[in-house]
Structure 1
């Protein structure tokens, strides 16, 4: 029986993000295209017989009780009734508060990985339902496919997108998602479109409704976005802080990333349609 798994937790980009309304509970209705990319955290899960969920690595500024991977492990443990525990070791690459889904992806990898390690037999739909209790972005990582999403981001339809090379810049600031969604000037009435129209329109017509608010409050993000836009059409992912642009070849992307300089940390990542987590586990 397996006792240890080391698995990737990939990032995502919102190729578009439209806000079409607000529900009575305060959550916003969204339409978005999630694209999985090959920039990843790495999570090592080691099974324990004593039922303890132990964090071997801690995230600065995040209390253990608030840590999404610990919360995901405990939620799965409770839902399954297993007597097993796990030691969780996270090798963190993805920036916190970057809009690339790092925490959500870490939680999804915890759910999918422990389901395999503990031999629980939960379906991806069941794991996604558990994940939704922790965060709206977790289901897309659990299902592991680039997707069109609606609702609060949990109503997923798998799609196939182009797979360019992305330059991703994190300007070194932390964005409050709550503050963005509470901003009175945030666009909340974008007209809903069909998935077919979104896909037919293509990248030239895609936008992020959060971008104007974020640029106004975070000059460093505005500057990074303006600089990157000189090289290719660029936009914010999620509520930020990361901005990104797509390139046809790796050589050009690496050259732009190397030139990013004082605009922040820069990565080059390939767009994917299936998650490396699911490739690793054969899901």
Structure 2
């Protein structure tokens, strides 16, 4: 006997929840103020945008670009891209936002011309002008960092010199005349060192990409070297080691200050004196 059976069908409803990825907008629709979702950059200025590529500056003044699969690169694209990276790196020292924007915009213009299929010379001419501007700004920034430090330290020494001179009677009564005159001589060394770096400004080899701190340390070390040299000369004169037994007309303090000033100006003066003293002591 056949027993009829009833088949039950159970329907299972399955729901899947997958994260929804944001739709990437076509680069052709991007404009200033938009966020490029592919590169995760906010667009500060669009340099050039076509159906095949886009070049723009982001909020940090860096050059961003991208192309479609159908874009065909020029033969000189690799060379241009290397120069773009090099010039972008060399301009990182610029601390003025407007100047940096102008420089980076010109670099981006050169890249855009290359991506647009224009002649190599069009991009290279722009890069040459940018390189000249970067060199000029590099020198300007380096000098500003270096000389500002040197001038401030020298100014402090000049103020101390004047203060010590105006209070000479009280200082002499406490420290003595020899110590007072040596201190004045040391301050003159800073003035001489400043004269030296100022007169040789065009011969200085500085690079702003090395950083502000290094330039400040260089400025400090040059003035300190002048102070140390002047101290050695002043101590040698007062101890009779330098110019001992030599008679001269005029004010002895003025003579000491002049030699201390010379010790700060000339980088060879103190080493030559030390060499002579060393030879004489060995005889």
TM-score between the two structures when normalised by the length of structure 2:
0.22
TM-score by length of 1: 0.22
Q: Per residue, is there more strand in 1 or in 2?
A: 1
The structure with more radius of gyration: 2
More helix, by proportion:
2
